[in-house]
Amino acid sequence: MKPIKTLGVLTSGGDCAGLNAVIRAVTVRAIRGYGLRVLGIHDGTLGLLDRPLSYRELNLESLDQRLLREGGTMLGTTSKGDPFYFPMPDGSFRDRSAEFAEGVRELGLDALVVIGGDGSMRILARLCEAAGIGMVGVPKTIDNDVHGTEYAVGFATAVNVVVEALDRLQPTAASHHRVMVLETMGRDAGHIALNGGIAGGADIILIPELPYTLDGVAQRIREVLARGRSHALVVVAEGVRTELGQAVVSAGRYGGIGQYLVGEIADRTGIETRATILGHVQRGGTPSARDRIIATSFGVRAAELAAEGRFGEMVAWQDRGVIEVPLSQVTVGARPVALDDPLIRTARGMGVYVGSC
Ligand code: F6P
């Protein structure tokens, strides 16, 4: 295999805390360890579709110490614009994959580190193959629903945000003798709600993977009150449906299941109930220590795999360290909370209502 000289790196899909830490680690390892040239592509795939191409040279001098601590992504990202099916201003769709390949050739990229969720990785794997370059994946998403890894970059920070929100909601709930419903992100999977709910002492945690009944929810609240506590905390993932199975969406986006529960809980229990939607607060902000460690470990290993020509792999976290898994095994859709997830047992062991089965 011909040794690689130029490595591209891009972030794709929704941002989250820890992306800059990955970019920093990829760059440091690629330059210090292998003397590679590293180019950061702007705005995901868009940087390679733009003319002139939109990118920046990443070198050790340009890596500010602040990067490790900063949320967002210094390179920008996009969750729109699949180059195979690119939305055009006139409403039509065009295959722009050849322009992507042209951009790769123009920059002289030999390999690409893609920091993304499973959807981005699926698209980028096809694009890289068509462009004739190797790809290494780094999983990121606050939803933590990428297959093959225990943790994706951004998840740990998002869970901390949920816990902090519950720490703030509990005293106000107690003061007013209310039920507080906290709606978290988590489109297809309830990892954020389950982890945040346990760590934040929720009485009820609803996730898309487990069916629930409003009677079950109301029953748990009555039990809490019967034991002498005057308030309760409910955590619900945005992807949870109504009891009748309807998704709560507006303009194609999730949001509102918390407010639905407010009405149902108040009607059934007679307790004043309020909802808070956490939204994008979970994505921004300073990465937690855990996310910085995972991001840095992923970045180092991704650069090594690229430099060694070990393409078609994604770095993953298993048993306190980094391993590699074939991209083909991870680009198979979202990873839900498994029905035998130990945290479901933990929650139930604490008397938390997490649904009916
Ligand atoms: O996939 C990550 C995620 O944060 C989901 O939890 C959420 O539903 C979605 O992205 C929001 O996307 P957008 O930033 O496009 O509103």
Task: For ligand 1, say whether the CB of 79 is within 6 Å of any of its atoms.
Answer: yes
Residues 67 and 169 in one domain: no
CB 318 within 8 A of CB 149: yes
Q: The dihedral of CA 72, 74, 79, 80: what is its sign?
A: positive
- The answer to whether the CB of 186 is under 6 A from ligand 1 is yes
Domain shared by 343 and 203, yes or no? yes
Nearest to 136 by CA among 2, 8, 319: 8
Within-domain flag for 324: no
Residue 326 belongs to a domain? no
Residues 172, 106 within the same domain: no
pTM for the whole thing?
0.96
Mean of the per-residue pLDDT values for the chain?
96
Give the Cα separation of 184 and 257 in Å (integer).
Answer: 10
What is the identity of the amino acid at 285?
A: G
3-state secondary structure 185-254: CCCCCCHHHHHHHHHCCCCEEECCCCCCCHHHHHHHHHHHHHCCCCCEEEEEECCCCCCCCCCCEECCEE
CA of 253 from ligand 1 middle (Å) equals 8
In which residue are the tokens 């580190």 written?
A: 113
Sheet holding 134-139, edge to edge: 55-58, 37-41, 6-11, 111-116, 134-139, 313-318, 321-326
Q: How far is the CA of 222 from the centre of ligand 1 (A)?
A: 34
pLDDT digits (tens, 9 = 90+) for 328-337: 999 999 999 9
How many Å is the maximal CA-CA distance in the chain?
A: 71
Domain extent at residue 232: 158-283+339-349
Which band of pLDDT confidence, cut at 50, 70 and 90, is reported for residue 357? low
Question: Is there an atom of ligand 1 within 6 Å of 187 CB?
Answer: yes
pLDDT, tens digit (0-9, with 9 covering 90-100), for 60-112: 998 888 999 999 999 999 998 899 999 999 999 999 999 999 999 999 999 99
**Helix 191-199 with 342-349: angle, nearest 10 deg:** 40
Residue pair 18/140 in contact by the 8 Å Cβ criterion = yes
pLDDT digits (tens, 9 = 90+) for 276-311: 999 999 999 999 999 999 999 999 999 999 999 999
CB 141 near ligand 1, within 6 Å: yes
Whichever domain contains 268, its CATH number is 3.40.50.460
What atom of ligand 1 comes closest to residue 142's alpha carbon?
Answer: 2
Pairing assessment for the beta strands 179-184 and 204-206 based on DSSP bridges: unpaired
- Residue 185 falls inside a structural domain: yes
